[in-house]
Structure 1
Amino acid sequence: MNNIKSVLCNNPEGYHRIFYREYGNENAEHTVVCAHGLTRNSHDFDFFAEGISDNFRVITVDIVGRGISDWLDNKALYTYNQYANDFSTLFAKIDVENVFWVGTSLGGSIGMILASKRNTPIKKLVANDIAPYIDYSIIESISKYCGSTPVFNNQEEICNYLKEIYTAFGDLADKHWEHIAKHTTGKKDGDKYRLAFDPAISYSILEETNHKSVDFWKYWDKVACPTLVIHGLQSTILSSEQTKEMSERGPMADVFTVEDAGHAPALMLEDQIQKVKEWLLK
């Protein structure tokens, strides 16, 4: 079971509220904070959180503009810096000074930023299929698909659509796809369904990066905590070469390769959950 809570965060033009789910014992020795991918939401970690909550307090977050968290009026404010600030506000709200971070894609990038800072509360970092360097052509391609606004008649249509665009999540069972579809379904627009994120998040990335490649090696090289990189072997985002480099510089990460997934392993399958859990418990 989980409890839904929220925290009020500030931005340059006012305030917004982000929602999060809490699992396990709030007095557990370690707190795991989970951050999802670009267009995803906290429910991507439901299976993972349930699988590790006997050992940890687990917090899964709807990043601003996703899930049930607020959308920003000024779309240019969807930035890495804003996301990092929101999580810093969350850390204060949940009153923890020691955090184990599990981040998929965008969530992994945010984790790099936070873990690179002086006196960071992040004591362990799991970066799920995200590279410190992402070529602009990849960013542009991602922006095009997540900036579109498809509409659907029902959840079955949504499920079929998601199976197609997220085939790289790996060999998931029907229960996983049904779960993903249920929680990716946003509010109705007339008699049609839309997806549960603000399409403007895609364009803000292009603007923030000034239409250039993303280079986060400057953050990676400052990370000092134990780090695990999860590599979807078929990933178009994280190459085998970059994975090797991430194991040789900065925190010199451990590597867990998921052979039947691309970008990004869903962390919903039991073997993946147990592998990450064992690493966090080391």
Structure 2
Amino acid sequence: MTRFAADDGRMLAYDDRGRGTPLLCLAGLTRNMDDFEPVLDAFADRARVIRLDTRGRGGSDRDPDFMNYNLIRESRDALNLMDHLGLDRVAILGTSRGGLIAMMLAASHKDRLSGVCLNDIGPLVEPRGMAHIMSYLGLPPGYADYDDAAAQLALKMRDRFPGVGRDQWRAYARRLWDATPDGLALRYDPALRHAVMEQSATDALPDLWPLFDALDGLPLALIRGAHSDILSPETASEMQRRRPDMIFAEIPDRGHPPFLDEPAAVAAIATLLERIA
């Protein structure tokens, strides 16, 4: 892991390994670069896998102004990293919020993108999924250790992730939380909760379909968890209607988001990289 300075001085963490098509991996709202370990394992021999910890997450600085946890600032951070690495264009693999950042960049800096893979995200975010996120966002996880988390997650998530065993949930917990003498702790700034609450205080929901339509002409892939509560089947179908050339993989026995180690997810990413090459 290396760090660089964004244009406002915040130090952001990233990892840059592999060779081939530059693939910038952007994680979800509370997540970090470790979510993309399976992508690094699968693609480092054919892609330059660049993983970014968005500000306030993982090894990146927390922002003293939590209102800077927004898509515009986080999109600029991604551009800052590209500039730091001297990259004119990258493909983006964006999970959830990372996919929203990819769409923002398609609308504002399309010339910097060579392709996009959206992992379980689209222009409409389902309210029940957002309600689930708000039920834990910024709050202590409440697990004694990784084994405790694995055991409890296997029970809590069995409807959305049937068949996922404790070893895989332990790996999930290790990526998301830090182990401390007082139990597992967040690996992100809990002020993210305040940012989301402030930014969603109005009842007016922005229309994000123009951002999706801005992806026109770029190689595009969509991965959806079959049990996702964030990306509905209807939204995924409309995305396919608007982009009939879009690579699409629906991952059985997965909710939001797929882990990206599933064979169909790996195949979708591989096909996208082939189209870019």
Task: Read off the aligned partner of 1:10 and give its amino acid letter.
Answer: D
Counterpart among 259, 278, 281 of residue 271 in structure 2: 278
1:1-282 equivalences in 2 (<5 Å): 4-11=1-8, 15-25=9-19, 28=20, 30-136=21-127, 138-163=129-154, 168=160, 171-186=163-178, 188=180, 191-212=182-203, 213-224=205-216, 225-249=218-242, 253-282=246-275
Relative distance call for 1:33 and 1:191 in structure 2 (3 A) is: same
Equivalenced residue count is: 272
CA offset at residue 260 of structure 1?
1.8
CA offset at residue 73 of structure 1?
1.3
Question: What is the identity percentage for the equivalent residue pairs of Structure 1 and Structure 2?
Answer: 26
TM-score by length of 1: 0.87
TM-score by length of 2: 0.88
What are structure 1's unaligned runs of at least 5 residues? none
Distance in 1 (CA, whole Å) between partners of 2:171 and 2:86 is 31
CA offset at residue 37 of structure 1?
1.2
Relative distance call for 1:68 and 1:164 in structure 2 (3 A) is: farther
Relative distance call for 1:166 and 1:66 in structure 2 (3 A) is: farther
Would you say the 8 A contact 1:170–1:265 is kept in 2? no
Would you say the 8 A contact 1:133–1:214 is kept in 2? no
Distance in 1 (CA, whole Å) between partners of 2:268 and 2:244 is 19
Say what the alpha-carbon RMSD is for the aligned residues.
2.3
Relative distance call for 1:269 and 1:251 in structure 2 (3 A) is: closer
Relative distance call for 1:39 and 1:219 in structure 2 (3 A) is: same
Runs of 4+ in 1 over 6 A off after TM superposition: none
CA offset at residue 157 of structure 1?
2.1
SS for the counterpart of 2:108 is coil
What are structure 2's unaligned runs of at least 5 residues? none
Distance in 1 (CA, whole Å) between partners of 2:155 and 2:136 is 12
Relative distance call for 1:272 and 1:134 in structure 2 (3 A) is: closer
Relative distance call for 1:58 and 1:201 in structure 2 (3 A) is: same
CA offset at residue 138 of structure 1?
4.1
